[in-house]
Chain A
Amino acid sequence: MPGAHPAVARAEHLLQLGRPDAALGLLGPDLTQQPDDADLLTCAAYAYLLKEDWGQAAELGRRASAADPDRDRPLRIQASALLRLGQVTDATALAHRAVQMAPDVYNSHLLYAQCLSGIPRSHEHAMAEARRSVELAPREPSAHIGLAQVAYPPEKIISPRRLDVAEQALQRALALDPQNSVAMNELARVRLRRSKRFGAMTGFSDALTADPQNQTALRNTGVVLGGFLKFAHVLILAAMLVSLVALDLDAGVGGRIAQAVVSVGVVGVVVWFVVRVRMAVPRRFQVFLREFARRDRWAVAWAGCLAAAVLLLLGALLLPADARGDADVSALVVVAGGVFCRRMWIVSRRRPRS
């Protein structure tokens, strides 16, 4: 119990204020004198958890549990840290023990659910635990967000029914805390999964307004823009192939007309895309583009190649036949394709994250 130790009580206060370093500084001298004090160890473990030092958090959580095996909080801290370290089985076992010890604490159920969602064929069990956590703390936004994250875990392809569950949970979380940046990001992620790309972009942008330090949301805007580039890439590549085939079949007026239709269509679609994105994130479009380019130089090269390909299409349309030549088109397609494929491979590994 935090109140039992003055240093622990002050440190807990500091942790609530998001100052784990200051809390650890406060706990240090007492921990030196009482290295097996469960209160001190638990508080320090939590501080390390906030500092995202999972190894230390797990170790101190373990020592706190050993010092006082009847407490659930050190178990939760240790399980959280182990989950982050990828030790899902150990984390699940600890979370299960925490649930048994404190069946009325929503945190325990939520953590157990998160652990279970990482284990194959445990989804229903995980959902049941997440729902139990919401039942225990219906006014707690984090419980609803937790349920959404269990319903729609990152890196997974899921059914639309689960997307509905996630969306409803997130809307409840936002009703409780309208400025919750995490919930906004998650909701945008759900929209993106439903292929509502422009809405997702708006959602990520809103999440950034609520918390400008939300790096996940910022990264996710990059994922959306990457998706747009991928779409544009496929479109341009298809247009080039159609154009080449049309010219091959008919080098005369018919081929030129087909080429013109394809080229104008591609340019129109690209312009429409840009306009829609600008509308989705008014005043932020350039900032997102800049951030996207800053974070990944490949994206700049990719976008540059796409722009060159569009220009080439238009050039092939406008220039006289003897001034263009087929080789430049093919060469650019090959070069651009190489860069694009590389880029696409990278992007395909980047799913929107929680």
Chain B
Amino acid sequence: MSNPLIESLTRAVEAAPGDVPLRLHLAELLVAAGQQDAAITQCAVALQHEPGNVAARALMGRAMAGPDGGTSVTPPPPEGTAAPAAAAPPVGPQPTPPSDPPAYGAPAPDSSPVSFDWTMAESDVSEVAPERMFVAGGDEQATDVPAWDVERTSLTLKDVGGMSQVKDRLTAAFIAPMQNPELRKLYGKSLRGGMLLYGPPGCGKTFIGRAIAGELGAHFINVGLADVLDMYIGASERNVADIFRLARANAPVVVFLDEVDALGQKRSLTRSSGMRTTVNQLLTELDGISGQNEGVFVVGATNQPWDVDPALRRPGRLDRTLLVLPPDQPARESIFRHHLAQRPVEGIDLGWLAKSTDGFSGADIAHVCETASEKALMEGVRTGVIRMIQMKDLKAALAEVRPSTGPWFDSARNVVQFANEDGTYNELRDYMKKNRKL
């Protein structure tokens, strides 16, 4: 970048990232200077700030078209063939009959995905949307952590979009007593015990577990079924003991037991004595008989709380339960925002999307965004013109993706009807009644 004007404008844009006209001016200069990639990046960022900005879209189109002002991505000649010289093939899609192979040295652009040059397309858009559009925060480091690693998470309940009822209950039942040691001492409340999060799959139980850890300023240990199960007799119990030893050494800590219905399965359901001893070991560790559990908060998560050993839910163990339901409207809006943040989008009506996805889990919404991206991408492949993800893609994706929570509610329905004598699932029953699932 040798143009001093561009350099100074770049600095100015960096200083005022929200100044769209300035950014577009810079993009204009970049296009004029033949720096299409940089121009595309600037246009994309401008569109993130103002998705409906017509000038930005037009400029992006120009930048994508390249210096010759064309309107499509030109497929390069296949490797090992001579590049067309004088008689260059026409740009843009040109349907070729399948039985008519392209002439040697002059490959006709094919509309089929096979002939699309992914490398070139990727280089064209590689710098588009380098940063999130909607979400400023987030927890980049908290994902993909190996088993048993003690994490520090910066997530807090503020990062959990919507779900105000869940947050209120979490605060009242779990977080407030933990965060107020004086009051806790006054009332003789121990820093022991845990909470069982349950609900349909894909609704953010793990996310909430991390947020609890962040909120408490505690470490986080994520324990999955695979981390505990071991082929050798006695090894699974030892794994459970090791996890709690590690947790005690790192207190305050949140031990997140994923799939706790498997780890602590009802003893009547366990078919092997090996698993029964694992359940017993888990009970022992929760009681802190083999060690001091002060500052060790255990959060279990399960899709099937009815399969969890009742002994695990006795006082001092996972004695508080919290139903994590499919996200409400504000949460869905937030999840859409999060999943679209790193994609090139324009004209997205998040409110409409959130309204139209009642009953969708967070995972379903991620799937909708993924499907919409796929549609926009494949259209780009078909037509040779790269474009942004639009509402029509998301609407088409919505027509394809169905809420995955249905089977869970079918199972839950039986439980609420036939195994809720003690009122454990009253909250779930009320939700299902309200949503006509019962």
Spell out A's residues near B (CB within 8 Å): 3, 6, 9-10, 13-14, 16-19, 22, 177, 179-180, 205, 208-209, 212-213, 218, 283-284, 287, 291
Do B229 and A10 have beta carbons less than 8 Å apart? yes
A321 to B415 alpha-carbon distance, docked (Å): 53
Asked if B141 is an interface residue, CB under 8 A from chain A, the answer is no
- Asked whether B81 is an interface residue with its Cβ less than 8 Å from the other chain, the reply is no
B231 touches A212 (CB 8 A): no
- Taken together as a complex, chains A and B put the C-alpha atoms of A19 and B275 apart, in Å, by 14
Interface segment, one of B87-95, B186-194, B416-424: B416-424
With known contacts A3-B231, A10-B231, A212–B270 Cβ distance under 8 A: no
Q: Contact residues of B with A, CB < 8 Å? A: 225-226, 229-231, 236, 262, 265, 268-272, 274-275, 306, 411, 414-415, 417-419, 421
Whole-angstrom CA separation of A177 from B271 in the bound complex: 12
CA distance A9 to B274 in the complex (A): 12
Docked complex Cα distance between A17 and B236 (Å): 14
Contacts of A17 in B (CB 8 A): 225, 262, 265, 270, 275
Q: Which 7 residue pairs of A and B lie closest in terms of their CB atoms, listed nearest first? A: A9-B231, A212-B414, A208-B418, A212-B418, A212-B419, A212-B415, A17-B262
CB pair A13–B417 under 8 Å, yes or no, is no
- Of all chain A residues, the one with the shortest Cβ separation from B265 is A17
Using CB atoms, name the residue of chain B closest to A19. Answer: B262
Cα A22 to Cα B272 with chains together (Å): 18
Among A10, A16, A180, A218, point to the contact of B271 (Cβ < 8 A).
A16
Known: A6-B231, A13-B275, A284-B417. 15 other contacts (CB 8 A): A10-B226, A13-B236, A13-B274, A14-B229, A16-B271, A16-B274, A17-B262, A17-B270, A22-B225, A177-B268, A209-B418, A209-B421, A212-B417, A213-B411, A213-B415
Question: How far is B413's CA from A208's CA once the two chains are assembled, in angstroms?
Answer: 12
Name which residue of chain A comes closest to B226, CB basis: A10
Interchain Cβ contacts within 8 Å, total number: 56
Complex contacts, A10 vs chain B, CB 8 Å: 226, 229-231
Q: Quick check: B229 and A213 within 8 Å, CB to CB? A: no
Contact assessment for A16 and B270 in the assembled complex, using a CB-CB cutoff below 8 Å: yes
Q: Which of B225, B272, B274, B418 lies in contact with A287, CB distance below 8 A? A: B418
- Inter-chain CA distance A306–B268, complex, in Å, is 43
Chain A residues in 8 Å Cβ range of B226: 10
A179-B421 in contact (CB<8A): no
- What are 30 pairs between A and B in contact, CB < 8 Å? A3-B231, A6-B231, A10-B230, A13-B229, A13-B231, A13-B236, A13-B272, A13-B274, A14-B225, A16-B270, A16-B272, A17-B262, A19-B262, A22-B225, A179-B268, A205-B418, A208-B418, A209-B421, A212-B414, A212-B415, A212-B417, A212-B418, A212-B419, A213-B411, A213-B414, A213-B415, A218-B414, A218-B418, A284-B417, A291-B417
Complex formed: what's the CA distance from A291 to B306 in Å? 21
A2–B3 CA distance with the chains assembled, in angstroms = 70
Q: Say yes or no: A284 contacts B272, CB within 8 Å.
A: no
Q: Which residue of B lies closest to A3 (CB)?
A: B231
Output the nearest chain B residue to A142 by Cβ-Cβ distance.
B271
Residues of B near A291 (CB, < 8 A) are 417
Give bound CA distance, A13 to B419, whole Å: 27
With a cutoff of 8 Å between Cβ atoms, the chain A residues found around residue B270 in the complex are 16-17
Q: How far is the CA of A82 from the CA of B62 in the complex (A)?
A: 65
Q: CA separation between A287 and B229, bound complex, in Å?
A: 39
List B contacts of A9 (CB < 8 A): 231
User: In the complex, how many angstroms separate the beta carbon of B231 from the nearest chain A beta carbon?
Assistant: 3
Contacts of B275 in A (CB 8 A): 13, 16-17
Chain A residue at minimum C-beta to C-beta distance from B416: A212
A14 and chain B: residue at smallest CB distance: B229
Minimal beta-carbon separation of A312 from chain B (angstroms)? 34
Q: Residues of B contacting A208 with CB < 8 Å?
A: 414, 418-419
CA–CA, A331 to B268, complex, Å? 56
Min CB distance, A139 to chain B, in Å? 13
